Amino acid sequence: MADTNPSKRRDDVPRDPSHGSGRKGPLAGVRVVELGGIGPVPFCGMLLGDLGAEVIRVDRPEEAGRTSPFPVLHRNRRSLTVDLKQPPGADTVLKLVATCDVVIEGFRPGAVERLGLGPEACLARNPRLVYGRMTGWGQDGPKAQEPGHDINYIALAGALHAIGPADGDPVPPLNLVGDFGGGGMLLALGVVSGVLHARTTGRGQVVDTAMTDGTALLLAMTYGFLAQGGWRDERGVNVLDGGAPYYGVYRCADGGHVALGAIEGPFYAALLRVLGLTDDPDFARQQDRAAWPVMRARLERIFAERSRDAWAEVFEGQGACVTPVLSLVEAAEHPHNAARGTYRPGARGGYEPAPAPRFVGSPTAEPAPAVAIGTHTEQILAELGVDAVEVAALREKGIVG
């Protein structure tokens, strides 16, 4: 069986050439185990894989052979199916953990401990391991064991209250703020920071990432404004929440919309110049909240006179911070995004976001498409020293798919 000596160097571990040492990007050589989940944890795994890490996702044996339900979030993975509820399955994953730099998981607090795969068990096998945990409420606190989704986490963190019109209800911003911005993105930062620390000190650690904490962190500037009296704790009445007439969305003649972001003086002046409002006394009072309703009503009438694309043409190159509001498909096909390769053809049709950010010194590779669940089970077990007879026995008992 595989050597589980925790002092074993990661460089001594056999790697698949297409997913391990052959990977390109700043995280090439980093090996990650992702315990199956949805939302923020797969997003974190995607980010790490996009940047060159080798990511091995662990799913349940009964899912073996199925097409991945999340073809973009599951790109750049090798796939292993193991029944974690059976001790031999958990022991197999511990053998894998001994060869890795990072584990990421998104179970409720205490769940992986009951499986024998909690931080204590994993760090005992690999003291240099970074164990990244992703939950909605955190590992402790009064709500730690309660269920929830993105909308609940951003509601309790204060973000949802701040998004939406002044005369309407809060509007969920998809699941971008909790799941992905305050969740998966923060988990990725946490585990990369942990890897740097482990390589400096030789010691691993646990990263406790909570979507409520991450959402609060995303509100850092807003809370700073609030403390200084520059933000009213109301929805749709502030500069950046659609309250200001020069920072918002306007409906056009064809039902499309344009987005205005003319905050600073030069951009605001360009906006007025293009619209012929430079000498209008109402628009001379940009920061006077009392004038905002009149300014907004006037802008609503003006933008309703032409189509979205007509306005986009009028404002192109004018420096007024006015852009069309594009659909998902339109965004992928916009000339600027096309020129930069911001989106790429999806493995199953359509489009998907390309890896970001970009690195000049260690560029990333084209993402590898998501594979069928369990595709690499036998390959990974062989790398761990599990011979064909043992694999057959594990399969017969339903421990691996």
CA-closest candidate to residue 93, choices 68, 69, 126: 126
Q: Is the distance from CB of 46 to CB of 363 less than 8 angstroms?
A: no
Q: Which of 149, 161, 257, 334 is catalytic?
A: 149
Residue 362 tokens, joined: 């260690």
Question: Which residues on neighbouring strands pair with residue 55, listed in sequence order?
Answer: 32, 77
The owner of tokens 């511990």 is 94
φ, ψ dihedrals at 46, nearest 5°? -65, -45
As a whole number of angstroms, the distance between CA 148 and CA 215 comes to 14
Q: What is the pLDDT of residue 22?
A: 65
Give pLDDT tens digits along the chain (401 positions). 333 333 343 444 444 434 444 689 999 999 999 999 899 999 999 999 999 999 999 999 999 999 999 999 999 999 999 999 999 999 999 999 999 999 999 999 999 999 999 999 999 999 999 999 999 999 999 999 999 999 999 999 999 999 999 999 999 999 999 999 999 999 999 999 999 999 999 999 999 999 999 999 999 999 999 999 999 999 999 999 999 999 999 999 999 999 999 999 999 999 999 999 999 999 999 999 999 999 999 999 999 999 999 999 999 999 999 999 999 999 999 999 999 999 999 988 999 999 999 999 999 999 999 999 999 999 999 999 999 999 999 999 999 98
149 catalytic per annotation: yes
Q: How many CB atoms lie within 10 A of CB 127?
A: 14
Residue 68 tokens, joined: 């991945």
Q: What is the pTM of this model?
A: 0.92
Q: What is the pLDDT of residue 12?
A: 43
Domain annotation for the chain: domains and CATH numbers? 10-218+349-396 (3.40.50.10540), 239-340 (3.30.1540.10)
- Taking only the tens place, the pLDDT of each residue in 244-294 is 999 999 999 999 999 999 999 999 999 999 999 999 999 999 999 999 999
179 catalytic per annotation: yes
Q: Is the distance from CB of 68 to CB of 57 less than 8 angstroms?
A: no
- Taking only the tens place, the pLDDT of each residue in 205-232 is 999 999 999 999 999 999 999 999 999 9
Q: What is the pLDDT of residue 15?
A: 43
Number of helices (H) and strands (E) in the chain: give both, helices first. Answer: 15, 11
Q: Which of 50, 83, 101, 179 is catalytic?
A: 179
Q: What is the pLDDT of residue 14?
A: 40
Q: What is the pLDDT of residue 347?
A: 86
As a whole number of angstroms, the distance between CA 84 and CA 66 comes to 18
φ, ψ dihedrals at 327, nearest 5°? -75, 175
CA-closest candidate to residue 5, choices 385, 265, 352: 385
Question: Which residues on neighbouring strands pair with residue 323, listed in sequence order?
Answer: 259
CA-closest candidate to residue 109, choices 135, 78, 148, 142: 135
Q: How many CB atoms lie within 10 A of CB 136?
A: 29
**Residue 164, helix vs strand vs coil:** coil
Q: Is the distance from CB of 89 to CB of 116 less than 8 angstroms?
A: no
> For the CA atoms of 9, 15, 17, 23, what is the dihedral angle to 10 degrees?
-60
